[in-house]
Structures are given as C-alpha cells and as structure tokens.
C-alpha cells in the first residue's frame, strides 16, 4: 500500500470519514486501504464526487476524470461519432474520443457506446450524451494511466429495460397529493427510508427544478422531482448518494466523525 504524502494526508482523512458515512454497510479495511492509495496517487475527492463505491469496488466518475485532466493541464479532447454504429431511431450511439495531454502528443483514444438497454431509466433519451461521456472517460483513463474503471462506463446507474417498455408514472391527483400522501410527506418519507441528507436533497431539488429557491418551483416540478428521487433511491441508492454528495461545499468537513 502506498504511504500518503504529507500534502495528501488531510484529503485521505476526509475521504475515509465521508466514505464511512456514505457507505457504512460496505466500507471495510480493504476498501479504506484502496481509498487511501487512490487518494494519494490521484488526489481524488469523495466529497467532490470523484469516487464512488459500488459492491465493494471503487470507481472514478466523469467529474473526477475531468478534474484530474484539468490539474494535469490536458490540452484538449476531440470527440466524434462512429457513424457505422449510430442509429438515431433506435437511440444507439457510439463515439470516439481522443485526449491530448501535451504538445506533439498523437492522442489517447477511447470508444464509448450507449443504447436504451445499457443506460439508467433516469437518463433514457440521453443515450447520445452517455455514449460521449463513456468515450471521454476511456480516453482520459488511458491518457493518465488511471487503472480503476469509471462508473459511467460500466453503466452502474443502469437498470436495463426491455425494448418497447415505457416508464409509467402513477396518476397525479388533482387535489395536490402524490399517490396518496402529500408531496412534502412523500419527500420526507423517501429521505427517512433511504437515510438521505435533507439539506443535500434540497440543494439537488433546487438544481433539478432549475430555480434559485424551491419556493419558486411549481407543484408539477416538485412532484416530478419527488418521483425522480424515489425511483433513483430504489434502483441505485449508491449512485444517488454520489449525486447528492456533489452538492457538498468543497473542503467541507460535514461528514463528521466516523
């Protein structure tokens, strides 16, 4: 195991504390050792959403890779569709990304594909962007020798859906209730059931609704958010926690003691 440098010890401590808070049932000594190595080697931050723990394995995120490339002065990334594997009607896309890390560099190439069968229900309709992200991730991992897989590549957010199957929303009663209980009660229920941070949920809701304050959001926007939050919490709580965690202020030690 790598010994953390003096400059990375603080980040190692923050990452380990937050990891215990976010994934209490998954984190053990082996995961913490791996996290220490990743932190010291790549200086990735859990609080910034750079790393995600899924089924006992650490994965880097798109945000983490972009931050690493920025810190290492990546010159640019060229992305283009691979037309032979693209079908807009079927929402099947494939991209080639080339990362240039220095002047005279011939580039590091990565490919990524996506279609309705290997992306999350949450991002159905955005397969083209998912494919592009996966291609960029692979190119950056090759360029900087990052050995751990990115979460977007494996489709950890994905819950495959059979072709032709559509996502159906429950009826929205006219009296302002959501599937029985009121919207606010349903939101509180989700937060309690899945042990979510209410403050981070509020920040995410504001961003999701595209408003500066939740008071500005319409009832329909709030209902859509609650539906989205509940679905994501049921299907992939770890991914949701990572998303919520991205709303933590940089350098915030809010994770507290383990």
When pLDDT is cut at 50, 70 and 90, the band that residue 58 belongs to is very high
Cβ-based burial of 221 (10 A; exposed 0-12, middle 13-18, buried ≥19): middle
What are the residues whose beta carbons fall under 8 Å from the beta carbon of 232, sequence distance 6 or more?
A: 122, 239, 240, 243
Task: Please state, in angstroms and as integers, the Cα–Cα distance from residue 209 to each residue in 55, 178, 235, following that order.
Answer: 31, 17, 21
Q: What is the pLDDT of residue 159?
A: 41
Look-up of token digits 């509940």:
230
Determine which of 46-60, 79-93, 108-122, 228-242 has the lowest per-residue pLDDT on average.
228-242
Q: What is the pLDDT of residue 198?
A: 85
When pLDDT is cut at 50, 70 and 90, the band that residue 79 belongs to is very high
When pLDDT is cut at 50, 70 and 90, the band that residue 13 belongs to is very high
CB atoms inside a 10 Å sphere around CB 212: 9
Task: Please state, in angstroms and as integers, the Cα–Cα distance from residue 82 to each residue in 35, 60, 100, 253, following that order.
Answer: 35, 25, 19, 44
Separation between Cα atoms, residue 46 and residue 19, nearest integer Å: 7
The bridge status of strand 51-54 relative to strand 57-60 is antiparallel
When pLDDT is cut at 50, 70 and 90, the band that residue 123 belongs to is confident
Q: What is the pLDDT of residue 52?
A: 92
When pLDDT is cut at 50, 70 and 90, the band that residue 5 belongs to is low
Cβ-based burial of 85 (10 A; exposed 0-12, middle 13-18, buried ≥19): middle
Global model pTM greater than 0.75: no
Phi, psi of 76 (to 5 degrees): 160, 165
**Joined tokens for residue 31:** 């995961």
Q: What number is the average pLDDT over the span 204-224? A: 81
**Joined tokens for residue 62:** 């798109």
When pLDDT is cut at 50, 70 and 90, the band that residue 223 belongs to is confident
């Amino acid at each position: 195991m790598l010994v953390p440098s003096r400059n990375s010890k603080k980040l190692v401590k923050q990452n380990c504390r937050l990891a215990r808070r976010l994934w209490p049932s998954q984190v053990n000594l082996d995961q913490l050792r791996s996290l220490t190595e990743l932190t010291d080697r790549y200086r990735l931050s859990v609080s910034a959403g750079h790393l995600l723990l899924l089924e006992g394995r650490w994965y880097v995120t798109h945000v983490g890779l972009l931050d690493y490339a920025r810190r290492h002065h990546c010159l640019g990334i060229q992305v283009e569709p691979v037309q032979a594997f693209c079908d807009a009607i079927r929402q099947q896309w494939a991209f080639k990304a080339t990362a240039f890390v220095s002047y005279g560099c011939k580039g590091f190439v990565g490919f990524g594909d996506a279609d309705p069968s290997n992306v999350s229900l949450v991002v159905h309709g955005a397969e083209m962007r998912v494919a592009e992200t996966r291609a960029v991730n692979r190119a950056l991992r090759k360029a900087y020798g990052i050995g751990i897989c990115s979460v977007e590549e494996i489709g950890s957010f994905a819950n495959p859906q059979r072709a032709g199957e559509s996502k159906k929303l429950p009826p929205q009663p006219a009296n302002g209730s959501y599937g029985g209980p009121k919207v606010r009660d349903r939101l509180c229920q989700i937060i309690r059931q899945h042990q979510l941070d209410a403050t981070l949920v509020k920040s995410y809701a504001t961003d999701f609704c595209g408003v500066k304050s939740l008071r500005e959001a319409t009832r329909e926007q709030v209902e859509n958010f609650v539906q989205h939050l509940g679905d994501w919490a049921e299907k992939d709580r770890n991914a949701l926690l990572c998303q919520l965690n991205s709303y933590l202020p940089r350098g915030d030690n809010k994770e507290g003691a383990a």
